[in-house]
Chain A
Amino acid sequence: MTVITSGEELGKKIAEAIPGSVVSSDKTSVMLESKSLAQVAEFLKNTPGLDFNYLNFATAVDYIDYFELVYRVLSMEHNHSLILKTRLYDRENPAVPSLVAIWRSAYFQEREMFDMFGIKFEGHPDLRRLLTWEGFQGYPLRRDYL
């Protein structure tokens, strides 16, 4: 059974290693400051004992006031998982560091989020629309897109 890592405990660890990165944490997830996302991801992947080497899924949810990015990371060695979240309040120009350099499975998923929500991933090697065609206007999965 995949153990769901306690977000509260891990949140403390992350906050110790990278001060100012954790906004809040609960039983299953850790809410992060969007700027420090890549740093935290690197910490989670490379810290012995945590070894989150597998990014399961990455997606965004439009809550109108903000976009919430959700990442589920997993360690195949220890069989434990964690949900990382971050919020982007800028609707006009939402931007967040890309995680492709850390987990390559983010490659298509970040392109998809760019396509569907218009979120810019800084440092993504090839940020283009994925499912809709070039020249498509608007971001279909935003709540105000009809």
Chain B
Amino acid sequence: MPIKTEPFYLNLGPQHPSTHGVFRLRVQLDGEVIVDVEPIIGYLHRGIEKLAETRTYTQVIPLTDRLDYVASMTNNLAYCLAVEKLAGIKVPERAEYLRIIFSELMRLANHFLAIGAFLNDCGALATPLIYMWREREKIVDLCEMTCGQRLLFNYMRVGGMSQDVPVEFMPALKKFVAEMPKFIGEYEQLIKQNEIFLARTKGVGILPREMAIDIGASGPVLRASGVNWDIRKKDPYSIYDRFDFEVPTGDVGDCYDRFWVRMREMRQSVRILEQAIGQIPAKGTVWADVPQFFRPPAGEAYGHIEAPKGNLGFYVVGDGSIAPYRVHIFPPSLMNVTALRDMAIGWKVADLIIIFGSIDVVLGEIDR
């Protein structure tokens, strides 16, 4: 005689270590198998878009830091690009190079945390995360050396950077870039062939190519599904067209591919950093002389970048005053999480944690 069963609801979060922030998942279970997943977001909503309307263009920059706080300097860049487009400001050469250097450092810093936390979710508790943290600390130290901050940098300005890097910065950066390939090799050795890791991630949480495009996924999540789409290549902003690098892609779109794409991206970031160190002009201003209260003309501009998590865009509308009329933030994490339900159905709760970890979301930019 078949036993009658009832669906069981499980709440994951908002305060749960595996949700990477205040994120709630309402999971419907049949035994341990997932029947339905509903992401509930908004716990970290601070109304950044509304706050931006009451501040001058420069005062919005610290707000953007609080979006993707794992790689906060990339948010500065996307916002500055949009405003520079609106106001028609040209950025000095040295500042362009510094922007590239810091966005690639941020990509490394983000991927360290993404992979480390992902392995944490897989059950490799703390050890890989601390290994990754060791190198992330070095990047944070480089940033502290430059702008005095370790998390929310507020370093870029419309028209360049707030200040030049100190003299000790370039030697420290060169040392970091030189030793980085060794460390990436070390991580690969530690993780790539690990049998438990392969069993937990290979073929789990597949995001098919068509669906990835349909849900508007971007970044490593999109590329792991086999779409060769990187804004640095497809729509080069800043001076990315001067660098030689490859865009790694996956084939299947499972958790392992997402991990492996990030791993290979780190090597490419190191390549870009090496080239940028070689090309950066030794002297020169880092800030176009933009007045403190500048008034861009009425109009609208869209600036987007390939942030570590995907396509980060800012749609800025100006009305000719010193404050933006509207700032819309288009976060990559929100789009990437759209297909979580499709990826998780049929898997077990323990796999849901891995699938969610492999997407690499940060709630600061989902909730804004």
Contact assessment for B235 and A2 in the assembled complex, using a CB-CB cutoff below 8 Å = yes
- Any A CB within 8 A of the CB of B182: no
A129 to B229, CA, bound (A): 31
Q: A56-B216, A104-B215, A105-B335 are in contact. Are A79 and B50 (CB under 8 A)?
A: no
In the bound complex, how far is the Cα of B217 from the Cα of A103, in angstroms?
11
A92–chain B nearest beta-carbon distance, Å = 21
Among A108-146, those with CB < 8 Å from B are: 108-109, 116, 129-133, 140-141, 145
**CB contact list, A58-74 vs B, under 8 A:** 59, 61-62, 70, 72
Q: Is the CB of B325 within 8 A of A76?
A: no
A104 to B336, CA, bound (A): 11
- Smallest distance from the beta carbon of B268 to chain A beta carbons, Å? 20
0 or 1 for each of A3-41: is its CB under 8 Å from B? (1 = yes): 000000000000000000000000000000000000000
Contact of B338 (CB < 8 Å), options: A53, A104, A132: A104
Q: Is the beta-carbon distance between B45 and A57 smaller than 8 angstroms?
A: no
Residues A57 and B213 in contact, CB atoms below 8 Å apart: no
**How far apart are the CA atoms of A108 and B213 in the complex, in Å?**
15
B110 interfacial by beta-carbon distance below 8 Å: no
Is B325 a contact of A61 with CB atoms below 8 Å? yes
CB-defined contacts of A132 to chain B, threshold 8 Å: 42, 45
Separation in Å of the B285 CB from the closest CB of chain A?
Answer: 27
Answer yes or no: B328 CB below 8 A from chain A CBs. yes
| Residue from A83, A103, A105, A132 having most chain B Cβ neighbours under 10 A | A105
Q: Looking at the assembled complex, report how far the CB atom of A1 sits from the nearest CB atom of chain B, in whole angstroms.
A: 6
Instruction: Say yes or no: B328 contacts A59, CB within 8 Å.
Output: yes
B245 to chain A, nearest CB (A): 17
Contact present for B213 and A54 (CB under 8 Å): yes
Q: Which chain B residues (297-336) contact chain A, with CB distance < 8 Å?
A: 300, 302, 304, 311, 313, 315, 317, 325-326, 328, 330, 334-335
Chain A residues touching B, range: 20 to 34
Instruction: Tally inter-chain residue pairs, CB-CB below 8 A.
Output: 76
> How long is the Cα–Cα vector from A53 to B216 in the complex, in angstroms?
9
Q: How many residues of B contact A (CB 8 A)?
A: 33
1/0 per residue, CB under 8 A from A, across B44-57: the answer is: 01010110000000
Look across to chain B and name the residue whose beta carbon is closest to the beta carbon of A59: B328
A126 nearest CB neighbor, chain B only = B38
Interface string of B128-155 (1 = CB under 8 A from A): 0000000000000000000000000000
Interface centre among A59, A72, A109, A116 (most CB of B within 10 A): A59
Q: Which residues of A contact B367 (CB under 8 A)?
A: 131
Q: In the bound complex, do residue B45 and residue A70 qualify as a contact, i.e. CB atoms below 8 Å apart?
A: no
Give Cα A143–Cα B211 distance, bound, in whole angstroms: 36
Tell me whether B214 and A103 are in contact (CB under 8 A): yes
Docked pose: A67 CA to B227 CA in angstroms: 35
B236 close to A (CB within 8 Å):
yes
**Interface flag for B41 (CB, 8 Å):** yes
Docked-complex contact A76 and B214, CB < 8 angstroms:
no
Q: Is the CB of B328 within 8 A of A57?
A: yes
A76 and B216 form a contact (CB under 8 A) = no
Judging by beta carbons under 8 Å apart, are A141 and B50 in contact?
Answer: yes
Contact of A130 among B41, B213, B300 (CB under 8 A): B41
**Alpha-carbon distance between A56 and B302 when the two chains are bound, in angstroms:** 11
User: How far does the Cβ of B315 sit from chain A's closest Cβ, in whole Å?
Assistant: 6
> In the bound complex, what is the Cα–Cα distance between A1 and B240 (angstroms)?
11
Q: Is A107 an interface residue (CB 8 A)?
A: yes
Is A55 interfacial (CB-CB < 8 Å)?
yes
* Also in contact, A76 and B213, with CB within 8 A (given A105-B338, A108-B338, A140-B50): yes
Interface centre among A56, A132, A140, A145 (most CB of B within 10 A): A56
Q: Which residues of B contact A140 (CB under 8 A)?
A: 47, 50
Q: Which 5 A-B pairs have the closest CB atoms?
A: A105-B216, A2-B235, A57-B330, A131-B42, A59-B328
Additional A-B contact list (7), CB under 8 Å, known A79-B234, A105-B216, A108-B335: A2-B234, A56-B311, A57-B302, A104-B215, A107-B215, A131-B42, A131-B367
Could you list 10 examples of A-B contacts with CB < 8 Å? A53-B213, A61-B325, A70-B328, A76-B227, A79-B235, A105-B216, A129-B42, A131-B368, A140-B47, A140-B50
> Hey, which bits of chain A sit against chain B, CB under 8 A?
1-2, 53-57, 59, 61-62, 70, 72, 76, 79, 83, 103-105, 107-109, 116, 129-133, 140-141, 145
